[in-house]
Each structure stands twice: as C-alpha cells, then as structure tokens.
Amino acid sequence: MNLIAAAILAPLSMMVLILLLRRFPAVLALLGATVGMFASLYLLADAFNGQGNQLILPGLPDMPLRLISTPLTALLSTLVAVVSNLVLVYAVGYMKKDSEKVRFFATMLLFVSAMQTLVLAGDWILLLAAWELIGLSSYLLIGFWYRRPGVTSAATRAFLVTRSADLGLYIAVFILIASAGSSDIATTLNTGGNAAIAAGFFLLVAAMGKSAQTPLHDWLQRAMAGPTPVSALLHSATLVAAGAILLIRVAPMLPPEVLLVIGLVGGVTTVVAGLIALGERDLKRLTAASTSSQYGLMLVAVGAGVPLAALLHLIAHATIKSGLFLGAGIFQHSRNSTVLVNLQGAGRDRPRVFFGYALAALALAGIPPMSGYFSKEAIIAASLASPNALLLAPLALAGTLLTGAYMARALRILWHGDRKSHKIVGLYWMGAGLAGLVTLAVILGVTFPDIETLLNTRLPENTPTRFPPEIFGLGAAVGGLILGWFFTARRLLGPLLPWVQQGFTIAGGFDNLMVRPAFAIARSCERLERILYAGVFAVGRFGLDIGRAVRHNDEQGIDGLIFSLVRNTVELGSRARSLQSGLIHREMAITVVGTALILAALLLALLVY
Amino acid sequence: MTAQMFFIGFFGLAGVWFGIVVFRTFSMVRSALALLFSQTALGAMFLSMQAEFLGVLQIMMMATEMSIMAIFMVMFMMDPGGLGEMDMTHQKRLSLGAGIVSFMAAVAVAVFVDWGPLASVSPDAAQQTIDLGLELLGRSMLIFETAGITILTAMIAATAVAIQPVKRTREQ
Amino acid sequence: MSIELLLALITGAALFGVGIYGALSQTNLVMIMMGIELILAGAMVNLVAFWRYLHPDNPAGQMFVLIIMTVMAIEMAVGFGVAIARFRAKGSVEMEEAAELKG
C-alpha cells in the first residue's frame, strides 16, 4: 500500500473503527495518529533521499485525482502528523472527564485525515474537497460543546466566514483549470498573465478566510468556544494553516501585483491582530488573535517573495502555537476559566507548565536560539529585501514588536497573583503533549538549514541595509517583551484600548458592514417573496373560485335540474296517488274522461292530417 | 217511410225509454223490470232489422238474465221497493255531462260519416243461421271456443268468489 | 243516406249515453252493472245495424254480437259473484263505502 494513502487512511480508518466500536476512543485515536505519523515520516525520509511518491486515483474524465509527495508536501504532512499526534496525547488528558470522547476523537481524526489530504493533494479538485472537509470538521469541533450558550453561533460564524471566503478558491480553481486545461497543481502553476492575477486575488480571498486575515479575522477568536485541543490543532498546523499553505504552494505563480496585496494584507493583519491581542481580556482569545498576527507575518513573507520564510515560520509557529494552547488549556482546567483576571498567578501554581509556556512564548517572540527566532529573522530579512520594503518592513517589525509585547503581558499576568489553583485530572497526558511540542518549538530552528536543503532553495543572503537584519528583529522582539512585562495594556494602548477590545469595529464592525446589509437584502427578498407568494396564492384562489363556480353550477344547475325533475316526479306521483281513490265511480269517471280525451286526440289527428 | 223504418224507430225509442226509466225509479225491482223491457225492445228491434236469430236470442237471454238480476236486487237492497224514496245516486252532474257528451259524440259520428250505399236486402233467416253456424265452426271457431272457455272460467271464478269461505279450525 | 241506419245508430248512441250516466251515477253495484248492460246493448244495436245495412252477406257481424252477449253474461256472472262476496263481508253492496283499493 502506498504510504501517501497510509498517511490519510490510518486516521480515517481509526475514526470509522471508533464510531463502530464506540469504546477505547483515545487508544484508537492515538494508534491512528501514530501510524499516520510514521507514514508521513517515511515520506519525509524518502523526500530526503530524493524520492517522490505519487498516487493517481480515478477522478473526473482527463482530470485524475492525485496525491503527491514532494519535499514540500511531505514536510507539511509530517508537521501536521506530529503536531496532531502530540495534541491528541494532550487531549487524552484534557478530555478525561468529558462524556463524549467517542465523538470528539472521531471528529479529530476526521479533521487530521482531511488536513493530510489537503496537504498531500496534487490536484485542485482533491484540494477543494479536502478544503471543504476541514471546514466541516472544524465546524463540528468548534461546536463540540453545542449545549453551552454561544457555542453554536460561534461555530456557525466560523463556518460561514470561511465558507464564503471559500468561494474565492472555487473561482480561482475554475480560472486555473480553464486556463491551464488541467487540474494538476504543478501544471497550473505555469499560468501567467491576467488569469494568474485574477486567480491570485481569489486565492488570496480564500486564504484570508481560512487564515483569519483582516477583515475576516473575527471568527477565529470566537472559535475559542471549542475545546482547547481543538484550538491548538486548528490554529497551528491545520485549519488556519491551510490558507498560508495554499499561498505557499501557489507562490511561484503569483504575479508582483498580487504579491504586494498579499504582503499588505498580511502586514495590516499582523498589526491589527497584535493590537487586539494586546488588549484582550481572555487568554485563549489572546492566543487566537496572536495566531492571526503570526499568519499575517507569513503572508508578509509570501508577499515579499520568499515563501520559504513563510514555510519556516509556519512550521515554527505550528509547534509554538499548539504548545501555547496546550499550556493555556492546563491553566484553564486549573481555574475553570480562560479570562485573564481569573488566571492571575496560575503560572506560579504550576511552575513546570509555566516554564514550558514561557519557553513557547519566548520562541514566538523570537528570542534566540529558539525556532521562532530563525523564522522571524527570515521574514524580516525578506521584507527588508523585497522591492516594497518601505511598506512591508515597518509592518513586519511592528508585528514582531507587538508579538513580544502581548506574550510578555500574558506571562506577567500568569506569574503575578494569588495561588488558588485546584488539582486536575489527566495532567500527565497534557504535560506530555505540552513537553513534546515545546521541545520541538525550541529545537526546530536547528533543522531549518536541512529544510532549506530539502526544498533546494536558500533564504536570500544579501541585505540592502548597512546593519544585519538580525538587529532589527531582535531589537523589536526584546523591546516588545520589555514593554509587555513592565507596562499594562491600558498604558500601552491608551485611548485605543476600548476600540481594540471590541476587535477594531470599523464602522460598526462586521455586523454593520456585512450582517445588516445582508439582513436588509434578506428582508427585501422576503418582501419580494411575499409578493410572489401572494401572486401564487391569488392564482390558487382563482383556481379555487373557478372550481367553486363550477361546483355551484353543478349543484344549482345540473343537480338542481335533476333534483327538481325528481321532486316533480315525486309530486306528480303523490298527486296521481290522490287520484286513485279506490272508489269505483270516481275511477270509472276518470276512465270515461280519459277515454274521451284519447278519442278526441285521435279524432283531432284524423282531422288535421 | 217503410214499415221497417217505423218498427226500428219505435222499438229503439222504447228501448231507450225503458233504459232511462231504469235510473229514474227508486224501486230496484222496477229498475230490473225496466231493463228487461229495454233489452226485450232491443230484441224486437233486431227482429225488425231482419236478424231473426239474434233477436230471439236477445229476448230469451235477457229475460232470464234480468229475472235473475231482479232476484239479486231483492236479496241485496235495503229498500228494493223504493218506498223510502232514498236517493241512491252521486256525482250526478258529471254523470249527466258524460252521458250527454258521449251521446252527442256518437250521434255526431253517425251523422257526419258517409256510410255509403246501404244494402237493401239481406239473406233470409234460414240462410243467416246456416251462415252463422258455418262461421262459428269455421273461420271464427277459435274466437268462439275462446269465448266458451272464458264463460266457463268466469262461472267457476264467480262461484269461487261467492261461496262462503271455510274457516279452518286448528285441531289441538 | 238511409234513415234506418241512422235511427239504429242514434238509438245505440242514446243507449250508450244512458248507460254511461247510469254507470257513473249509481251507488249500488247492481245498478252500476245495469248501466254497463245498457252500454253493451248500445254497442250491440250498432253492430246489428252495421251488419244489416252495410255487410248483410258477412256473418262475422252476427258473430260479433254473440261475443258481446258472452261478455254481458260474463260480466253478470263475475259481478254477482263479487256482489255476493261483498255482501257477505260488509253486509252491503254500496260502492261509496268501498275504498279498500285506495292507493
């Protein structure tokens, strides 16, 4: 059996098994994820040896479904497998008290296999299917605690936002297939000209939806309503990453105009989301906003023309962010809350967890020698080297600064405060997952040169400035950390704070910009429909009236005729009955008169003719 | 005016007159006798129309028949002599109208129809009787026999209707 | 036009009219029967007259008179049978009282 299929089918088959058996969900889920992970690692090893794998399945006519294992896809597949495996380990502990483990692990496995399909897909049609599948499974996972208030609406919002942005992917795929004549991704990357520009913009829309870029970033924070392992998986390597992965894969095709727009969108997002994270009152929502911000940085890297930097940051961020979420989940269990005010001092209760969390936070901020440092430096260097450095570099630097600031803020709040955490179950499982991810987050930077070798590309070496770019990046990161540690959000943001806490509600925010007009359109549609409805009913009533008239005609006309005939016959009969008196003389008289009449008639006839 | 015409008119008038008398007397016996006379007058009229056999037959039959009727009258009537002068009629006006109208109609038919030339002579009595006998036992035998059977049936039926119904008592 | 035939026909018509009057106006069953006798007698006079003055050579006319006489006899027989039964049952033959056949 092909290993590509194994990477996808191992989680999927275990999902089916869980749903069939309805017991040992955690064990089976870990088994499936581990098998899938080994398959992915094997693919990666093959890729290192210069071997690619391919699996061609029957699909549309002349457009077979392809699963390919290039160095890039093998790497991403491995990333997805490893992160999801560690998150599942953590989830064993996190979900220990939950009564619906079967549903949870089954959905998680569906999610993982869908993501593997997306990553390994070699043609647009399979990618579209996987894209939809991760949308569906993320909807199921965000809405996992559907009985809690607000959860279903958050899930619906996430689904709707990503789903509407998905239309961009559809249009882009149509354009690409129409212009290239093939659904193979590698073939379509040769597209150029206007088709490439149009497809690029629509792909950007799709990526913005999935990667929660401004102005579509709102759903990601609301998606925190789901269980924490879900958030960890969603934000690091799977759902949100899908947008960035898409752009990284199509980066060779994108023309400069699109690249500029991508860079600007990413830059704006990283600043806006960073500010939101700085003003956030909830730890998980803070982390979510940070996710948007980091994906913004990746888009900056893509926009700067160095998708490799984006890929590296994606890998680093995947491990770091899932580590952060896992830590946050432990704190959440300790205090039964994710609101920052309630979490004050939670870190001091569990110093080992806090240590791991702090390492991840520092890695995200970009402190050497951890992975985040290398990837972030690559991005800043790329932005400085790009033709649009004046636009992109300040945004990237501001993003880095804000990253340091909000991570330091989170650390400060977690460290200072009372000790009042309670004992929690499943801590060892959760700790194991966290430890694995944090270790990866710390050491992954070492492997980046290998990845460059693997992908056969190099980060650009030459810098246009007199100082090495490391100085800018490190300065921004350390500066941010210092600001965040010593100053409160109120002092940092000043008058901006309320606005930031509302999530930058420009012109009334999403509700006013999108929801109200949508509702207005819906209302006018409803009005139109009512008119149509009335028309339809009028037609129906008209038909009924005709029917009634016909019935009336039947009853009064034909029936009336018949009934009056019957009535008259009966009346005639009763009159004739009264004639029959039984008295001989009467009847004889009648006989005489009748005979006379008959004779008269005969005589008349005789006379007339 | 021939003698035949005179006798026809005379006996016809007599028959009609006695017929009227039948319904103008209160005595039932007189009614029966008047009818007897009326029928006898008709018999005489047949004789004057040279139908000897029929005339004699009519007189004989009607004499018997009317005598029987007179006996029944006496049997059934509360007042056979008509001494109480009780009115035994009803719907007199309608009956009168019907009688007059039918009379007028028949007369009108008799007068207005062109009967054509009349036969002045008829076969003599012996020849008539021979002819009638041959007719009855020849061409019209089926009719004649049917009439006979019908009379027999009527006699049996009348007897059956008239005899006292036997009350069957159940023997217990 | 011969007076003899006309006289006979008028006689028959008169007997017929008188018979109709009697049959309709009398209340007694026997009297009604007398009316019917008169009607039949009228018919008989006509038949004899037609035989004598129109077809004296055809004995069928006389045969017809015989049939009428048979009818008279039958009428008498059945009528008296009914009258006896009626008298036995009700004690009278007044037809005004007999409405059993009312529909």
CA A605 to chain centre: 102
Q: How crowded is residue A607: how many other Cβ atoms within 10 Å of its Cβ?
A: 7
The answer to whether the CB atoms of A592 and B102 lie below 8 A apart is: yes
Give, for A55, the enclosing helix (H) or strand (E): strand A53-60
Of residues C3, C37, C82, nearest to B5 (C-beta): C3
**Best mutation site among A575, A585, A587 for testing chain C: the one with the most C CBs within 10 Å?**
A585
Neighbouring chains of C at 3+ CB pairs within 8 Å? A, B
Confidence of residue A499 (pLDDT cuts 50, 70, 90): low
How far apart are alpha carbons A337 and A247 in whole angstroms? Answer: 36
Under DSSP, is residue A121 helix (H, G, I), strand (E, B) or coil? strand
Distance from CA of C24 to the nearest CA of A (A): 5
- Chain B residues with CB-CB distance to A586 below 8 A: 91
Give the separation between CA A560 and CA A552, rounded to whole angstroms: 10
Contact call for residues A366 and A373 (beta carbons, < 8 A): yes
ipTM value for the complex = 0.89
Q: What is the 3-state secondary structure (H, E, C) of C18-52?
A: HHHHHHHHECEHHHHHHHHHHHHHHHHHHHHHHHH
Q: In this complex, do B101 and A596 lie within 8 Å of one another by their Cβ atoms? A: yes
CB-nearest to A584 from C20, C95, C103 is: C95
d(CA A424, CA A168): 44
* A585: nearest CB among B91, B102, B105: B91
Q: Residue A321 in contact with residue A287, Cβ under 8 Å?
A: yes
β-bridge mates for residue A53, sequence order? A69
Question: How do beta strands A63-69 and A53-60 pair?
Answer: antiparallel
A586, A592, A599 member nearest B98 (Cβ)? A592
State phi, psi for A7 to the nearest 5 degrees: -60, -35
Residue C95 is predicted with a pLDDT of 78
Q: What count of other Cβ atoms lies within 10 Å of the Cβ of residue A544?
A: 11
Is the CB of B167 inside 8 Å of chain A's CB atoms? no
Q: Which alpha helices (DSSP H) does B113-163 contain, by range?
A: 125-136, 141-162
> Are A296 and A269 within 8 A, CB to CB?
yes
Give me the count of residues in chain B.
Answer: 172
Quote the pLDDT of residue B15: 92
* The two structure tokens encoding residue C55: 């077809």
CA distance A153 to A156: 5
Which residues 70-109 on chain B approach chain A with CB closer than 8 angstroms? 90-91, 94-95, 98, 101-102, 105
Residue of chain B whose Cα is closest to the Cα of A600: B105
What is the length of chain A? 609
State the average pLDDT over residues A396-408. 86
Of A344-348, A454-458, B27-31, B55-59, highest mean pLDDT: B55-59
Given an 8 Å threshold on Cβ–Cβ distance, is C30 in contact with B98? no
Local confidence band at A507 (pLDDT 50, 70, 90 cut-offs): very low
pLDDT, averaged across chain A: 83
Model pLDDT for residues A246-274, shown as the tens digit of each residue: 888 888 888 888 888 888 888 888 888 88
Where residue B56 falls among pLDDT bands split at 50, 70, 90?
very high
Q: Which residues of A123-159 are buried (b: 16+ CB within 10 A; e: fewer)?
A: bbbbbbebbbbbbbbbbbbbbbbeeeeebbebbbbbb
Q: The pTM is what?
A: 0.60
Average pLDDT over residues B135-150: 90
